Each structure stands twice: as structure tokens, then as C-alpha cells.
Amino acid sequence: MKSILHSSIALSIAAAVTFTNPASAADIERSTITEVVKDATVLLRATKGKKAARVNDVFGVPDVLRTGSDSRVEMIAEDQTVTRVGANTIFSFEPQKREINLQKGSVLFNSPSGKGGGTIRTAAATAAVQGTTLIVVTTQNGGFKALLLEGRGSVKSNGKTRSIGAGQMVYVLPGGDLSGVLNFHLAEQVGVARLVNGFKAPLASQDKIDKAVAKQEAQIAKGQLVTTGLLASDSPTQAYKVDPTIAFDVVRSPERAQRIVNSGQAGLADSVIAQPQLDLDRVFSALTDAPPVLGPGSGIAGDLPPDYSLYIARNTTVRTNAIDLSPYLGTFLFYSTGDFIVEQSVAIGGGPESVGIFALGTVRQVPGAFLDIDAANASVFALGLDAAEAGGAVVGSPLAFTGGGIRATGNLSLFAASFDLNQSVLGSQTGGVIASASTDFTAFGLGASAPQFVAPKSVTIFAGRNIDITNSVTSVLNSDFTAGNNMTLTNVAFLTSGGPAQSVNLSAGNLMSLTNVALQAQSVALDARTVTLTNVAFPALSNVTLRSETGLLATQPNTGRPVEVGKVNFIQNVTYGGSPAQNAVGSGISISKK
């Protein structure tokens, strides 16, 4: 692994909030060996014997594959899922779960889009992928790292989850916790990885990997990546970070932010932004040797580079309809050790590619006010701590909006301890919306004043505990909602302005309850221990996947019977193409185990 790049603000938020759960699909427990480099042995559990791994052999449960030094094996499942096993590796499939057990060594896993993804388990962590290419490596004494080459994936360890994108990695040190999301130099990693280049046939996902490499190389060429001196492993010697990420380093370390605050004239004083131009005495640079760019009189000790900037205060109150960021490039972060309060609708932007708002306390507005951010990547953090310093009790609903909302011209990423949206809008003009709550996500509206989630590409909502949405319209191509415990949707419509959406994916750890929900999408996936549906309409010709603990449909569907725990329950008026939904089970609707 060549080098680490610290994540940019927008990428880092996405990584904190997004889960990837393999969809129901064909099993991969039997895969055909397509190439063997040097020596590899299949341990036959049934007979306790062993044999050499050979091309065209079918490898599957319950046998174990062991590779020698500088050896590699490629195998391909019926659905074209590719598994490549590296040197000095002990590897096996788990029955009927699209799951890999990696006891030792390394593995590359590539699941084609729409084929169901898969899960790689080690002693230290679990990596889930879907329609993407991932390398997982175990290290000595129980360590682990996962490197994503293209697409999206997620990694879980000790109750923590990280979502990663192309060129990103996470790791677990022996006996330690799951790391934050880090970026690595993708071109270097791909260039030296024998799991990528050490086989006769190229990966089916090679074009996607090449595009991810080209995108990252363009960032390097533009100076958006700078060396850091950090390494992900013992080779090679060069490392990068996404510029401007010192701002996010500050966010991740409130103690460091406190030192920066105390070293400047801003101190811990409150700030009121009452005009479009910012008070330069409150704009701080990350540590750099670049020459000053804001001119004399800025009141800043040290130099402020042109590509990332911090506006630091205790409580920040906005009393202007616009904040002009045209003097700044790269990323601009509003950092509040207390609260960020919007007292009237405001438009922020005009220069930086990424704009972030970070509050250790709350982000809130007067009823009806809009927070509009003009940037390719917009990010809002609200940690909900009750004091300016790091630590303290978490207050309720640190991101709370009544009417109005948060909108961005590009991608919008939101993170809060919990959300409370009442008749509000979360939207993006050109990208996607990601909202993550460590506890609860609540959206509620009355009549026509419904909460709206609007984006041309995707809306992703994650809550560590519960999602509760009432009287809402989700106008977006792809919707992905995940709740750690319960999900309750009442009077909710999934659609786009031009008709049906492409996909709606809803997942809950315990109970999913949908009442008066219009799932106007080509593909629908509902996944929970218990699924209950009342007045739910699936459109004709849609592909519907329903998963529960038992994988069974409750008895006497659509008759109003009580809920049967662990099953899929059609309580009343559940239809597919206008007909009773149970008639479509086995054709348009599939029901299976989680």
C-alpha cells in the first residue's frame, strides 16, 4: 500500500454516514477456478484430505483454499463475481450468504453492479461491497485493512462502520478500533498490486478502476493533492492528502482547533455575520508556508494559503442574506465551538469548491429560513455538545429546521447526532444528498407542507437508531435509507419529477413499518428483521426484493391480521400493479432471508 491521502470534507462526511448492504442475489459459494499461479492447495473438510488447486475445478463450501509464497488464484462465480486470492492466504466461502472468510492473507473481490455484492469477514473486521472492487488484507497479530479501487463499500468493526469510495481505505491495528477513512494514491497501489495485474485476464472492472485513477491523478496535477509524509504500510515512500484537508483534521481534533482558536485574535468570542464580506480577523489558515493572500490587516498570526480557510468563532449567528466567499479557493469551513445559527435565509458561496459548516453544538435556523450553499460539495456537521469545549452531554436534535431547509448546488452531505426536520427541504440541484444521524432521524410535516428530499441523483439517509418520516415527498432518482433499529414511514411518496425513480432501498435492523407509501420505482428493496406494509403500492413491472429474518410471507396476507415477527407482513391493501401483492410473489416480488 503506497500512501495515504487525508479525506476532503465532503468525502469524509459521506464516509461517516453511508452503509452498503449486499442485496439479495445468487450465491457465490461455488466458483470456478480460472487461473492458478504457482502453488495452491484445497483442503477438503469432508475427507480431511487435500489436493492441488487446478484450473476449471469448482471450489466451494465447505473446503478451504491455502496459497503458498508468491502464489495467486482467481475464481469466478456464475454471476461473474470475481474473487482473487493472494499469496500466503487461507480462504473459504460461507454457505448461502455471499460471504468470504479470510483467515489470513489477502483477497480482491469484484462484484458486478446489480449482482448482489458480498461480504468479507476477518477476525478484526467485516467489509461489505456491492458493484465494486475491493482489496482486503489481514496483518500480523490480528490487524486488517481494506482498500477500495472503485465504487462504494463499507467496513464494520467493534460496532463502528465506515463507508469508503474509490481510492479510500480503513484499517484496524492489532487490538485497536476501526480507523477513520483515509485516501491512498490509487495509481501507485494499482500499479504494484499483483491481485490487479498479476493475472492473464484483466478485471472486468478495470475501466472503472482506470477512471478512478484518472480522476485522482487530475487532482494531483491541479495541486489539489499534496504530500504528507504518511504511509499506509512499508512501501513506497510518497504520501498525499486532499487539499484542503487540514480543515477536516481540525474538525476531527477539537483540541487542535482550540489551540488554533486561542493562538489568534478570534479567541472564544461569539461572531455575528451581518454583511456579505467576512471579518478577516476570524479567518484562519491551516499551518503552511504559503504567502499571505488576504492582504495587510488580516490580524492573522502566520500565513493564509489561497486553497483552504477556516472561519472560527464560538457561536456564529448569520444576519445577512449572502456570504461572499469569492476571495477564497479550495475549501472554506465555518467552525463554531458552540452553535451556528441562521436568522434569515442566506446564500453562501461564490468561490470555493467545497464549503463546510461545523458546530460542536447545534446548527439551527429561525422558522422558514433557507441555508443555500453554492459549491460542488457542501457539508454540514452538528455534533450537539452542550459546551464550547470538546466533551459534554449531547443536546437533543442538534440539527433542527422548521420550514425552510438546506439546499446546495452540488453534493450535500449532512451529519448530526440527531435530525429534527419539520416541513423542511434537503436538496441538491446537480448531485446527491447524504444525511447521517448517530441516533435518530425525524422528519414531519402537515398537509401540503411536507418535508422534501430533492436531488437529481440520490438521497441517502442513515440513522444509528431510528428513522421516522411522516408526510414526505422524496423526489430523487435513487433513495437509500438505513436505520440501525426501527424505520417508520407514513404518508411518504418516492418518485421523480419525471415519473418513477430508479431505485428505493430501505433497511432497518429491527422493525420496518410502511403505511400509505407510494414506491414509484423500477427497483425496490426492503430489508428488516420484520417488515410490515399497509396501503403500499408497488408499480407494475418493478423488481421488488423483500428480506426478513425468516424469509417468509406472513399468513393470510392483506386481511388485517396481527404482525408476525420475523416475517414480511402484507397487513392491508398491499398491491403490485394494482393487484394483491401476494399474487406477484415469485414473479415481480421475491421474499428471502436477510
Task: Summarize pLDDT for 519-548 with one digit per residue, the tens.
Answer: 888 899 999 999 999 999 999 999 999 999
Task: Summarize pLDDT for 21-79 with one digit per residue, the tens.
Answer: 333 345 677 889 999 999 899 999 888 899 999 999 999 888 999 998 889 999 998 88
Q: Which three cell numbers stand for residue 176?
A: 485497536
Per-residue pLDDT, averaged over 577-591, amounts to: 93
pLDDT above 80 for 284: no
252 by DSSP, 3-state: which?
Answer: helix
Task: Summarize pLDDT for 480-499 with one digit per residue, the tens.
Answer: 899 889 999 998 888 776 66
pLDDT above 50 for 287: no
pLDDT at 414: 86
84 by DSSP, 3-state: which?
Answer: strand
Q: Distance of alpha carbon 273 from its chain centroid, rounded?
A: 32
Q: Which of 387, 345, 392 is nearest to 365 (CA)?
A: 345
pLDDT above 60 for 252: no
Per-residue pLDDT, averaged over 202-206, amounts to: 92
Alpha-carbon gap, residue 289 to 312, rounded angstroms: 20
Alpha-carbon gap, residue 249 to 390, rounded angstroms: 15
Alpha-carbon gap, residue 405 to 456, rounded angstroms: 17
CB neighbours of residue 36 within 10 Å? 19
pLDDT at 26: 53
Higher-scoring residue by pLDDT: 250, 356: 356
Per-residue pLDDT, averaged over 9-23, amounts to: 26
438 by DSSP, 3-state: which?
Answer: coil
Alpha-carbon gap, residue 312 to 494, rounded angstroms: 39
Alpha-carbon gap, residue 315 to 337, rounded angstroms: 7
Contact 274, 37 (CB under 8 A): no
pLDDT at 256: 43
Instruction: Give every CB contact of residue 207 below 8 A, 6+ residues apart in sequence.
Output: none
pLDDT band at 471 (very low <50, low <70, confident <90, very high): confident
Q: Specify which residues 415 forms β-bridges with.
A: 381, 436
For cell 504511509, the residue is 231
Contact 502, 477 (CB under 8 A): yes
Q: Distance of alpha carbon 127 from its chain centroid, rounded?
A: 13
Per-residue pLDDT, averaged over 344-354, amounts to: 87
H or E stretch at 194: helix 194-197
> 395-399 long-range contacts, Cβ below 8 Å, gap at least 24?
395/361, 395/362, 396/420, 397/362, 397/442, 398/359, 398/361, 398/362, 398/363, 399/362, 399/363, 399/364
pLDDT above 90 for 99: no
Q: Which one of 72-86, 92-106, 305-319 scores highest in mean pLDDT?
A: 72-86
pLDDT above 50 for 402: yes
